[in-house]
Amino acid sequence: MRFKKWISGLFDQNKDAHERILILLTIVAMSALFIITVVGAVIGESKADLIILGGAFVVFGLIAFLAFHFNKVQLCATIVAAILVFVVMPVTFITGGGIYGGSPVWFIFCAVFVCMIISGKRRFFLMTGNLVVAIICFFIQYFHPEIIAEHTKEMVFKDMLISVILVCLLVCFLVEFEVRILREAFRASEKQRHEIDELNKAQNTFFSSMSHEIRTPINTIIGLNEMILREDISDEVAEDANQVRSASKMLLNLINDILDMSKIESGKMELTPATYNMGDMISEIVGMFWLRAKEKNLDFHIDVDPALPMELFGDEVRIKQVLINILNNAIKYTSEGSVTLAIQFKQEDEKHGTVTFTVTDTGIGIKKESIPFLFNAFRRVDETENRYIEGTGLGLAIVKQLVELMHGTITVNSVYTRGSTFIVDIPQEVVGGDITGERFISGEVKDHAVEHSNYKKRFDAPDARLLVVDDSSSNLLVVTKLLRDTGIQIDTAESGAEALEKTLTNEYDLIFMDHMMPGMDGIECLHQIKNQVGGMCKNTRVVALTANAGSDNKVLYSSAGFDGYLVKPTSGEALENECLRLLPKNLVHAVYTDDRIVEESMSWLKDHDRKDEVIISTDSVADISPDLLLKYKIAIIPHKIKTEKGIFTDGKEIEAQGLVNYMEDGDKVVKNSAPSVEEYEQFFAELLTRAHNIIHISISKDVNDSGCPMALEASEAFDNVTVVDSGHLSSGQGLMVLEACRMVREGMDAKTIKATLEKERKKFSTSFVVSSLKYMTRAGQVDNWINVVSNAILMRPVLKMKNGRIGVGRIFFGTQEHSWKRYIDTELRFSQNIDKSLLFVTYVGMSQKDLDYIKEEIARRVTFDQIIFQKASPVIALNCGPGTFGLLYKKIQ
């Protein structure tokens, strides 16, 4: 019964391939062992060999039974292989005649067995073990042949023949069965691929049909609403109409999201790049969202780079879709405060540049742990907090796909409960030399709640004749009304057949044709018009006016012979543009040209304030002079000093000398504390309002009370914040900060700067000579008895940073000046390896006389281009005390 079950499992395609091969091996191997044992008894094999083979038969059968019973196939296969390699093979080699028996052939079988059945590290281990065992056995045969049981010539012949036959059969069975399994897997894969293709086709058909059916009524809503805005209406009606227009466009964007997700999943998403006007696009985007912001009592700000080119080459539709989704989320998840859209441009060369769109809100923000899942489709982060906020969960997933399709990047910076910033960089081609200039000026979009249409017809064409073909009477009504003011003579047809009747008797100058119509679709109707016997419109230009959106459809209509392509819902402006482009010029009389820019919904104030590409930040313990901080715009986050009188900000509310004086007045306890994660988050968030990227050079993570771990944790909330562990402190850290500033000025990006700093970290030297261990004892870094002994023998230790940790480099004895002199001699003795452009002398509690002495001793040994004497921060002072100074520099190698 068990044997039948194994046979059925052998051909069960639902079982794992390894399991099926193991079943085959079990059946064949046990049969082979049984045969070998019987044949061995007949030909007179040694009893020990027969016992081994018989025992292996029983053990392997038991293991096979347990493997399938407890579903531990891989584990049991490993045990079988191990027994074969480390027990059966060496024993049968010794008892079966060695190389004058069948063992060498069975070593090969073991290798094949391990290779086909075992996986992972176990395979490597067992393959190596099999090779090592074989080599050892052969060495034993060569150096100690007396250990190997002897076989007669007849037994050698029979043993080798039977072994070769059995191994060949087993290997053939294995290979053939493996090939059969692979064929089955290929057939199953092909079947599954065919089913997936059919499912995708059905899904695409459904989405396309749904898009067409929904766009048709939206076209009516938007078109007739535009006609309402053209009329002389009250402010209240105009405000309602504006809300209808905004809501319709948002609904249209949602439909586009659903359709695009289908295309993305099927790999059919394509771009349609063209020249577009950036000013018009900004106006349209802002016009869509100012009302939604107003409804929630939010301030809506716009910040446009005056250097932004007016005309660019790219996929305007996709860029708008990206911005609409991000702005929609920003307004949706912000209950108070503001939403800001900033647009900047970075010129790469004469014809190329990168447009950076930044959307910042003061909403609920995003938890750090949720950011990795932010761009997953159908997943909404923090469902508990956002359960009352509507949405499909598709928007950001599509945004990421579209941005990457345009070879751009999207990054997110967010502090939970404080807001989020989305930054989108998209490379674009520059067309022409015009820039936005002062057309868009940064500031708040003011309330213009009642926006009447400033529609002006662009041409008159009373002698032109237009045929509109659509099975929807409402669509016919919309096109007719939108083109009414141009004076064009418009006929309509509700089917392809009716259109053919009209083209047979009337000559039209232009035809707008729907695609998906019952009976005869638009493409077929077009072909019949072009080939109509006696028809009067064979050479008339035809525009596809359809609800089928997408770049693939545009190619379809172009190849079908259409002269243009408009997607529903369309606008009066788009219809007029097509008429201007395609109607015979002698029939068109232009009355309004497109050299204006609509400024309808905005009043932007203030001067433009361009963001920096990168800002370097660091801790207050970096000990950099104020003039350098100002020169390089270095941002500082302060540590805190805790005393019995309160908590003070390092470098702002307390300075080093004041702290030293305070500590010398009795045995007062003073402690240092680094900023918290929340403080770092707030610090980074504020800096990101001034720059696109932040590189924070942190104090070494391995020193006491380091802020590096908190900075790293806080940076997880931001895609544009990079934290670099300097491996140093004080001005050694400051030197790395200045190095980073130099790289920023050379135009390096954040990733390159971080990699370079981490590579050159060991080139910076940070050390201090300490006059007394008293302050280190108070800080808990040294036991008091060490302090007492060191003072008694005038010991002056040198503290040196190595691999990010503070250690004692050298120890000097004697007076303070003697120790200073020896410290300077020691640090500067290999002057040929020192970068002489800059030396920091960072000190605590020293007089001008002391500083002059140090300056003279340095000048006596090495000439530096610049020496900066820098007071140490209070944090350094409380750990080292007065009389401490350090020489901090960069090494050449």
pLDDT in tens, 840-859: 999 988 889 999 999 999 99
Q: pLDDT tens-digit profile of 613-647?
A: 889 999 988 888 888 988 999 999 988 877 766 67
Predicted pLDDT at 463: 93
Residue carrying structure tokens 């060369």 = 349
**Would you list the domain boundaries of the chain?**
2-191, 274-444, 459-590, 612-760, 767-890
Higher pLDDT, 262 or 118: 118
* pLDDT for res 563: 87
Q: Establish whether domains 274-444 and 767-890 are of one fold.
A: no
Name the pairing type of β-strands 795-802 and 489-493: unpaired
Share of the chain above pLDDT 90, in %: 21
| Residue 595 predicted with pLDDT over 80 | no
CATH topology of domain 274-444: Heat Shock Protein 90 (3.30.565)
pTM over 0.75: no
Contact 478, 545 (CB under 8 A): no
The lowest-confidence range among 267-276, 791-800, 867-876 is 267-276
The candidate with the shortest Cα–Cα distance to 806, out of 723, 706, 669, 708, is 706
Task: Report pLDDT digits (tens) over 724-765.
Answer: 999 998 888 999 999 999 999 888 888 889 999 988 888 999
Under 8 Å between Cβ of 568 and 218: yes
CB 656 within 8 A of CB 872: yes
Distance CA 308, CA 301 (A): 17
Range 251-261 average pLDDT: 67
Alpha-carbon gap, residue 861 to 787, rounded angstroms: 32
Which of the four pLDDT bands, split at 50, 70 and 90, describes residue 397?
Answer: confident
The mean pLDDT of 800-811, rounded to a whole number, is 86
Does residue 707 surpass a pLDDT of 60? yes
Specify whether the CB–CB gap between 722 and 643 falls below 8 A.
no
* Cα-Cα-Cα-Cα dihedral sign, residues 409, 752, 639, 631: negative
- Is residue 22 a contact partner of residue 63, using CB atoms and an 8 Å limit? no
Q: For residue 331, is pLDDT > 50?
A: yes
Residue 70, pLDDT above cutoff 90 = no
pLDDT at position 597:
29
pLDDT of residue 551: 52
Instruction: Report the pLDDT value the prediction gives residue 7, as an integer from 0 to 100.
Output: 52
- Residues ≥6 apart with Cβ < 8 Å to 56: 33, 83, 88
- Percent with pLDDT over 70 in the chain: 76
How far apart (Å, rounded) are the C-alpha atoms in residues 22 and 24? 5
Q: State the burial class of residue 34 (Cβ atoms within 10 Å of its Cβ: 0-12, 13-18, 19+).
A: middle
At the second CATH level, the architecture of 767-890 is: 2-Layer Sandwich (3.30)
Report the mean per-residue pLDDT for the chain. Answer: 79
Above 80 in pLDDT, residue 558? no
pLDDT score of 264 more than 70: no
Q: How far apart are CA 43 and CA 30, in angstroms?
A: 20
CATH class assigned to 612-760: alpha beta
How far is Cα 184 from Cα 182, in angstroms, rounded to an integer?
A: 5
Query: Once rounded to an integer, what is the mean pLDDT over residues 801-825?
Result: 87
Q: Which fold has domain 459-590?
A: Rossmann fold (3.40.50)
**Distance, CA of 608 to chain centre:** 30
The tokens for 267 are 């790999």
Relative to beta strand 489-493, strand 352-361 is unpaired
Say what the pLDDT of residue 616 is. Answer: 94
- Please state, in angstroms and rounded to a whole number, the distance separating the CA atoms of residues 516 and 677: 58
The dihedral over CA atoms of 681, 683, 688, 691, expressed in degrees to the nearest 10, equals -140
Q: Please give the Cα distance from 873 to 659 (Å, whole number).
A: 10
